[in-house]
Amino acid sequence: MPTPLKDLVSQLRNGRDKHPLSQETEPVGEPIPEPVAAIDGGSSMLWSNGRRSIGVVRWGYVVYEPTFEIRCARTHSEFLLVEEGSEQLDEARHRREVETICEAASHARYVLVDGALDASSGPLLADVLHDVTPETTVVGVSKKSSLSATGGDYPETWYSLPPRTYVLPTMARERESALPDTTLSFTSLHALGPTLRIDVAGDLERALRVARHYAGYRLCPGYPFPLIEAHRACCLDDKKHIYETMLQREMGRQGLLRDYVRGKKRGERTAYEIHTVLDGLV
């Protein structure tokens, strides 16, 4: 017999309530105004025939002065032909973001990256961190994380911390994906901000104070503003049509315009897949 919905939700609620809130927190010190570089990237699948797909990756960085002026910014993009259903597009985007750390580090002593600093991304990140530290501090900022200090049903980022504090959970020092000389924390950078997972290759306390300097943006308090700007520069939501037009023109030039129309991506499906047509009739 199916489990009633109220019982499923009750199990989830019990798992949330069991989370220990007794972990000791440390205050994030007063903001330190330092220049920072922020890196982000994006990817999007444009076309598929069910076996091969064409997508685009876009990545780059922006360098901010403590006065919130942009010193410089760089973005790059690349079309890729990949196997349908593979993770190649996301892997390529992440690899290019990691490789950009070295370039960004030539402009600022603090480099913010969107995402965690851990071994799950392969050996490249560890090699890059080895090359740029200790002269440069690299800070990985994650809005989402599946890590739970207790192994419970809710990750740490779902729990609110006291304003402008951080926690160093015990499990963070034991995690299998830890990179050498990195520290993992769960941090609140603003009284109205979320709990973030922040990994630091370098001095954790000083890095958090530098990040806090940029965390007062009213529309997104608690999240370092340079990463928001890097996201805006690399996000494909408002730029995808540019790359679709480029692909359409090139496939048309080579006699594949009908193929382009048939395989153009609309969300997770192609434009003329039978389910796309049927869903339009509902």
pLDDT tens digits along 149-180? 766 778 888 888 999 999 887 665 556 677 88
What is residue 275's predicted lDDT score, i.e. its pLDDT? 58
Q: What is the pLDDT confidence band of residue 271, given thresholds at 50, 70 and 90? A: low
Q: Bridge partners of 140?
A: 113, 199
**Secondary structure, 3-state, 219-269:** CCCCCCHHHHHHHHHHCCCCCHHHHHHHHHHHHHHCCCHHHHHHHEEECCE
What is the mean predicted confidence (pLDDT) over 248-258?
Answer: 97
At residue 148, the pLDDT reads 76
Instruction: Judge contact between 25 and 165, C-beta under 8 A.
Output: yes
Q: Percentage of residues in the chain with pLDDT exceeding 70? A: 88
Q: What pLDDT does 147 receive?
A: 81
Mention every residue, 6+ apart, whose C-beta is less than 8 A from residue 266: 276
- Assigned token pair, 189: 């950078």
pTM of the model: 0.90
pLDDT in tens, 175-233: 667 788 899 999 999 999 999 999 999 999 999 999 999 999 988 999 999 999 999 99
Which tens digit of pLDDT belongs to each residue from 53-85?
Answer: 999 999 999 999 999 999 999 999 999 999 876
